[in-house]
Amino acid sequence: MGWNTEAWVLEEAKQPLVRRTRPLAEPGPGDVVVEVEACGLCHTDLGFADGSVAPKKPLPLVLGHEVVGVVRGGAERWSALVGQRVLVPAVMPCGDCAFCRAGRGNACLAQKMPGNDIDGGFATHLVAPGASLVSLASAPAGLATDSLSVVADAVSTAYQAVRRSGLAAGDVAFVIGGGGVGGFTAQIAKALGARTVVCDVHDERLQGLGALGFDHLCNVKGRDAKDVRKELHGKAKEWGVPGLGYRIFECSGTAPGQTLGFTLLSSGATMVVVGFTREPVSVRLSNLMAFDATVHGTWGCPLEAYPAVLELIYAGKVVLEPFIERAPMSGLNDHLRALAEHRLARRLVMDPRR
C-alpha cells in the first residue's frame, strides 16, 4: 500500500522549509506508519535548518523528533499496534550492537533519529521502527496526549541526565538553564528527593518556576561564576549536603552556562553536560583531578527508561503544561524564526492538521 504525507521539508539550509505533498518512504519489514498528531519544536531543528549543524541524512529532509501519533499500518509483525497512540522516541537504537548489548543504546552508532537520520515529524505521517515505539495506552483520561510529544526528547533527555548523574534523595541538583530540558531536569530531581536549585538569566522564567517548589532560584545574568559558586555552595552547606552530593546539570547550551557548571564542581561532585553549543569553552581540566570529580556527557534516553519517565508524569510529579505552548504547524517558518530570535518562552507543540 502506498502512503502519502504532507510535510514541511528542509530542501536547502538557511532557506525556509517548503510544504510538500509527497510519497511516504516505503515501510521496511520492521517499520510502521504513524499518523502524526503533534510534534515539538527543538533547538536541534533550528540548528539543522540554519545550517549550523549538518543532519546525517542528505537533504531534502523532514525535520522534527518529538512525535506523538497513531499507528496506521506497516509491517505485519506490528499489526497489533494499528490504532494505538504511541510516542516516537528521539533516539531509536538498533538493539543488537555492542552499545545496545551493554545497555548504552542511546550511544548506538546505528540509531535512528527522526529529523536527522530519517524523515521526521514535521509532517502528517512518518515511518518509524515498530520496536522502538512507546505505547501511551495507560495515559490518564484527563491528560492531553499531544503534550506528551515533548517526552520524546526534552523530558526523557532530562530523565537520562538525572539517571546518569547517580542522583539520590538528599543530594542537591544545580540546574543551569530553566527552560525546556532544564525545567524538566529540575522537576525530576525534585521528584527523586533532591534539593533543587535553578539558575537562569531571565527573571520572568525564574518567576514562572517559582510555583513548582524548587528550593532556590538564582538569576546569574552578568554575574561572575565564582560569585554564583559562593552563593550556591553556601546554600548546599546550609542544607548539610557535602560536595559528594552535588549534581550539576548544564542545560542552557551556552558557553557561559558550561563555564558556570564547571566552576560549581567541588570534592566528589558530578556534572552532566546536557545542553549543546558550538562555542569553545576554556576550563582547567586539572580541577577534575584536584576535586576527584566526574563530568559526563549525555545523549537522548534508552528505550527501557520511558515507562519510568511516563509514570512521573502520570503521577503528577512532573508537569508539562507550564513548559509548552500549542501552535499550528502551518506557521513553522515563523516559529523557527521566533526560536532563533529567542522569542519563545515555552517549547512549541505543533499540530500538522492546522
Query: 45-94: per-residue pLDDT in tens?
Result: 999 999 988 999 999 999 999 999 999 998 888 888 899 999 999 999 99
Q: What is the mean pLDDT of residues 296-306?
A: 92
> How much is the pLDDT for 38?
97
Report whether pLDDT(1) > 70: no
CATH superfamily to which 4-153+301-351 belongs: Medium-chain alcohol dehydrogenases, catalytic domain (3.90.180.10)
Helices assigned H by DSSP within the chain: 43-49, 98-101, 154-165, 181-191, 203-209, 225-238, 255-263, 286-291, 306-314, 332-340
pLDDT band at residue 345 under the 50/70/90 scheme: confident
> How much is the pLDDT for 139?
93
> How much is the pLDDT for 323?
87
Q: Which residue has the cell 558530578?
A: 270
Distance in angstroms between the alpha carbons of the first and the last residue of the chain:
26
In the 3-class helix/strand/coil scheme, how is 251-294 assigned residue by residue?
CCCCHHHHHHHHHCCCCCCEEEECCCCCCCCCCCCHHHHHHCCE
Report whether pLDDT(168) > 70: yes
Residues of the chain with CATH 3.40.50.720: 157-297
Q: What is the mean pLDDT of residues 276-289?
A: 92
Report whether pLDDT(309) > 90: yes
In the 3-class helix/strand/coil scheme, how is 97-136 assigned residue by residue?
CHHHHCCCHHHCCCCECECCCECCCCECEEEEEHHHCEEC
The percent of residues above 90 in pLDDT, for the chain, comes to: 80
C-alpha to C-alpha distance for 244 and 171, rounded to whole angstroms? 8
> How much is the pLDDT for 105?
87
Residues of the chain with CATH 3.90.180.10: 4-153+301-351
Q: What is the mean pLDDT of residues 121-148?
A: 94
Q: Which residue has the cell 523557527?
A: 336
Query: How far, in whole angstroms, is CA 121 from its chain's centroid?
Result: 15
- pTM, two decimals, is 0.93
Q: What is the mean pLDDT of residues 108-128?
A: 95
In this structure, which topology does domain 157-297 adopt according to CATH? Answer: Rossmann fold (3.40.50)
The percent of residues above 70 in pLDDT, for the chain, comes to: 100
Q: What is the CA radius of gyration of the chain?
A: 20
> How much is the pLDDT for 61?
96
Query: 182-217: per-residue pLDDT in tens?
Result: 999 999 999 999 999 999 998 888 888 888 999 999
Query: 11-34: per-residue pLDDT in tens?
Result: 999 999 999 999 998 888 999 999
